[in-house]
Amino acid sequence: MLIYLMRHGETDWNKAGRFQGQQDVPLNENGIELAVKTAEGLKNVNFDAAFSSPLQRALVTARTVIGSRNIEVQTDERLRELCFGPSEGECSDTAKSNPMHPMYSFLFKPDCYAPTDGAESLDHARKRAEEFLREKIFPLEGKCENVLIVAHGALNRCILNSLASIPDRDFWEIALPNCAVSILALENGKLKIIEKSRVYYDKPVNGRL
């Protein structure tokens, strides 16, 4: 079974370099266009099931890719982006220029990231992503051939980094531009990465935030 793990299209907050986290920011015009181009690139994939974060930037992306296929996009709270607490909405440049900012370590020393004020740790996000895969995706082996999952940059890295044995200090090693698609294979209860971060449009945008 192949799993197409996709990041949502661009938002105005992506473009401005703002931390989105779990804020429900919509796709911008370019983000919709990127989703349409990705849908065209995946038009020959016969998806049997589709899952998405409930945040509209992911859900609209997923529905765009599924298009006229007769399947419902199922939402799951565990696919939401990491919660960044009070930093949501802030420009990342503020954090980059201040080593005392709570998001500075997330950007530059992710293995030292110690979230405060209700923000979420990498471990917590990784555990909920793994729980989603165990409960929703693994039981589909033998029943489905192709499954779409649309989520977010940091959340998708939690999944990919675990599979690739990438430590938290190298959390940003895999660039995941908007609408990047990574292909995973599930066989005999084992997941492996087939392809990382493929884009179906020119000039990838927002490879980190």
Q: Which positions are catalytic?
A: 8, 81
Q: Which two tokens stand for residue 43?
A: 């038009």
Residue among 133, 24, 4, 8 nearest 62 (CA):
8
For the sheet with 181-187, list strands across it: 73-75, 49-52, 146-151, 2-7, 181-187, 190-198
Q: Which two tokens stand for residue 154?
A: 């940091």
Q: Which residues pair with 31 in a beta bridge?
A: none
Distance between CA atoms of 149 and 128, rounded to whole angstroms?
15
Distance between CA atoms of 122 and 120, rounded to whole angstroms?
7
Q: Measuring CA to CA, how many Å separate 80 from each of 70, 95, 192? A: 24, 22, 22
Q: Which residues pair with 51 in a beta bridge?
A: 74, 149
Q: Which two tokens stand for residue 39?
A: 């849908």
